[in-house]
């Protein structure tokens, strides 16, 4: 048997035996609706042509453009401008690559461009060749709309979800973890990058890590996240974080924190210290909305992954509550569930609304088994694939909707109007404003 094949078999055996959520499925005894087939997306161009192009917000008025080339000699440069084919700016960036057992990635390019105008379409070309791409920058003020999709994967369900997301305009794509479901089979990261490119190259994609990004292998890759950190670099330095696994950013009037469920979060951890500082610096005049995304839900009435977010909740819930976070999105559980405002397992008018949106379309199918009797804290729950849309109308009002994937259209199955906690004076009596008060 050749060495490469043996390597992949060993890696696959490890993941399916010890790391795969299939093992949780057996333990928890929950059933899943049959998943749909994997979609493999080949590269169409030459070795030097860009592939897996995606963009993300990178500090005030800037975007980071990333792509991969099989050819190692392609320069990490982006040409761009406001007219198609007319590039009046050129920026050179940097590149990286990584190895994972017998796999070596292509050249992964990163170029940060800007300053850019808000709500403006820019046309760009990567590496001086290949097709032209375009993206639209988010608006500087309300209204703004987010597409929110967790546990995306790369199946026919994924393609359906993305088509529904793309059928109506939005400004920023938010993903609370579990992207490719490559699970150590590195070519699947490349295939995922190509599948999402039409969407991720045209609107900023802001992601955080899930358990499927870890790809830890004892002794050899004990810290994990090799592919994720190399391929999906987020603006962590721009937000004072020292790790790509947690960061924050401002867009229009919203401060968004992307937390890491799979890195340390206890009181002594770097993430905890960064979170305290980040929350203390929030200016609700400037960003009246504060939204958090993380992977393993803190509140969940599905038997799947029950209790897996509990230690993080115990460590960090008080910080989020004291900062009057408006909304917390999670993934991980392959279903949709919306809760009321909660603090410490009780309804609380000053706590965040919790929403689980782990139903993007991955290969594992749905988490069908919700606990009975249902909790009064849980207002809507359903195991169907779909996506969410969060439209912030202004400083105080937002509309949330969850769109179930029907065969040909996206059906609005759940929707609710939300008001920023800044509108409730009862929540602001003793709110901490400095790091020491948290």
Q: Which active-site residues does the annotation give?
A: 305
Structural tokens at position 398: 């937002």
Residue with Cβ nearer Fe ion (57 or 216): 216
Q: Are 389 and 403 in contact (CB under 8 A)?
A: yes
Site string for Fe ion, 289-328 (x = CB under 5 A): ----------------------------------------
**Interface with Fe ion, residue 210, by CB under 5 A:** yes
Compute the least distance from the CB of residue 210 to Fe ion, in Å: 4
Q: Which residue has the tokens 């198609």?
A: 84
According to DSSP, residue 80 is labeled E
Q: Point out which span in 5-13, 85-93, 177-185, 250-258 binds Fe ion (CB under 5 A).
A: 177-185
Compute the least distance from the CB of residue 175 to Fe ion, in Å: 12
Phi-psi region of 332 (alpha: psi -120 to 50; beta: other; left: phi over 0): left
Q: Point out which span in 92-100, 159-167, 330-338, 381-389 binds Fe ion (CB under 5 A).
A: 330-338
Q: Point out which span in 10-18, 167-175, 207-215, 284-292 binds Fe ion (CB under 5 A).
A: 207-215
Residue with Cβ nearer Fe ion (35 or 210): 210
Residue with Cβ nearer Fe ion (178 or 197): 178
Site string for Fe ion, 14-53 (x = CB under 5 A): ----------------------------------------
Residue with Cβ nearer Fe ion (246 or 321): 246
Q: Are 168 and 416 in contact (CB under 8 A)?
A: no
As a whole number of angstroms, the distance between CA 374 and CA 305 comes to 17
Q: Point out which span in 24-32, 62-70, 176-184, 399-407 binds Fe ion (CB under 5 A).
A: 176-184
**Interface with Fe ion, residue 332, by CB under 5 A:** yes
Structural tokens at position 304: 């799947």
Compute the least distance from the CB of residue 212 to Fe ion, in Å: 6
**Interface with Fe ion, residue 215, by CB under 5 A:** no
**Interface with Fe ion, residue 178, by CB under 5 A:** yes
Give the closest residue to 32 by CA, choosing from 413, 360, 384, 372: 384
Give the DSSP per-residue string, 104-158.
E--EEEEEEE----TT-EEEEEETT-S--EEEEPPPSSS-EEEEE--S--SBHHH
Give the closest residue to 320 by CA, choosing from 419, 241, 393, 248: 248
Residue with Cβ nearer Fe ion (64 or 212): 212
Residue with Cβ nearer Fe ion (67 or 157): 157
Query: Torsion angle, CA of 417/209/246/243, rounded to 10 degrees?
Result: -170
Residue with Cβ nearer Fe ion (142 or 298): 298
Using DSSP bridges, classify how beta strands 353-357 and 336-343 pair: parallel, antiparallel or unpaired: antiparallel
Half-sphere exposure of 268 (CA within 13 A, CB side): 0
Count of chain residues binding Fe ion (CB under 5 A): 4
Among 211, 243, 244, 378, binds Fe ion (CB under 5 A): 211
Q: Which residue is nearest to Fe ion (CB)?
A: 332
Query: Torsion angle, CA of 308/326/401/199, rounded to 10 degrees?
Result: -80
Q: Point out which span in 38-46, 108-116, 127-135, 332-340 binds Fe ion (CB under 5 A).
A: 332-340
Q: Are 89 and 122 in contact (CB under 8 A)?
A: no
Give the closest residue to 175 by CA, choosing from 332, 5, 14, 353: 332
Compute the least distance from the CB of residue 21 to Fe ion, in Å: 7
Footprint of Fe ion on 137-156 (CB under 5 A): none
Compute the least distance from the CB of residue 10 to Fe ion, in Å: 23
Give the closest residue to 84 by CA, choosing from 54, 52, 125, 35: 125
CA distance readout (Å), 386 to 125, 374, 403, 414: 32, 22, 5, 11
Site residues (CB under 5 A) for Fe ion?
Answer: 178, 210-211, 332
């Amino acid at each position: 048997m050749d060495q490469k094949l043996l390597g992949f078999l060993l890696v696959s055996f490890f993941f399916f035996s010890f790391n795969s959520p299939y093992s949780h499925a057996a333990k928890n005894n929950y059933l899943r609706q049959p998943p749909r087939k994997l979609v493999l997306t080949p590269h169409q161009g030459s070795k030097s042509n860009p592939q897996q192009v995606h963009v993300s917000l990178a500090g005030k008025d800037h975007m980071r453009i990333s792509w991969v080339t099989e050819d190692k000699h392609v320069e990490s440069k982006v040409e761009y401008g406001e007219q198609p084919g007319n590039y009046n700016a050129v920026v050179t960036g940097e590149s990286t690559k990584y190895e994972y057992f017998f796999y070596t990635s292509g050249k992964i390019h990163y170029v940060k461009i800007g300053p850019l105008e808000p709500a403006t379409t820019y046309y760009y070309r990567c590496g001086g060749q290949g097709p032209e791409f375009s993206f639209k920058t988010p608006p500087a003020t309300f209204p703004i709309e987010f597409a929110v999709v967790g546990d995306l994967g790369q199946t026919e369900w994924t393609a359906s979800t993305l088509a529904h997301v793309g059928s109506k305009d939005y400004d920023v794509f938010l993903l609370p973890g579990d992207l490719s479901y490559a699970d150590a089979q590195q070519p699947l990261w490349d295939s995922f990058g190509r599948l999402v490119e039409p969407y991720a190259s045209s609107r900023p994609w802001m992601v955080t890590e899930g358990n499927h990004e870890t790809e830890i292998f004892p002794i050899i890759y004990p810290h994990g996240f090799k592919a994720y950190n190399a391929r999906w670099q987020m603006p962590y330095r721009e937000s004072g974080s020292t790790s790509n696994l947690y960061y924050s950013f401002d867009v229009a009037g919203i401060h968004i924190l992307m937390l890491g469920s799979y890195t340390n979060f206890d009181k002594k951890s770097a993430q905890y210290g960064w979170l305290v500082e980040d929350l203390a610096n929030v200016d609700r005049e400037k960003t009246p909305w504060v939204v958090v995304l993380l992977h393993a839900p803190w509140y969940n009435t599905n038997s799947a992954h029950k209790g897996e977010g509990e230690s993080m909740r115990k460590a960090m819930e008080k910080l989020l509550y004291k900062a009057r976070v408006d909304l917390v999105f999670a993934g991980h559980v392959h279903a949709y569930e919306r809760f009321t405002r909660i603090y410490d397992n009780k309804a609380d008018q000053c706590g965040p609304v919790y929403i689980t949106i782990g139903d993007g379309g991955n290969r594992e199918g749905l988490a069908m088994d919700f606990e009975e009797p249902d909790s009064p804290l849980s207002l809507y729950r359903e195991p169907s694939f779909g996506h969410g849309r969060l439209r912030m109308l202004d400083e105080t009002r937002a509309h949330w909707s969850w769109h179930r994937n029907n065969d040909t259209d996206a059906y609005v199955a759940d929707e609710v109007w939300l008001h920023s906690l800044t509108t409730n004076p009862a929540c602001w009596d003793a709110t901490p404003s400095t790091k020491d008060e948290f």
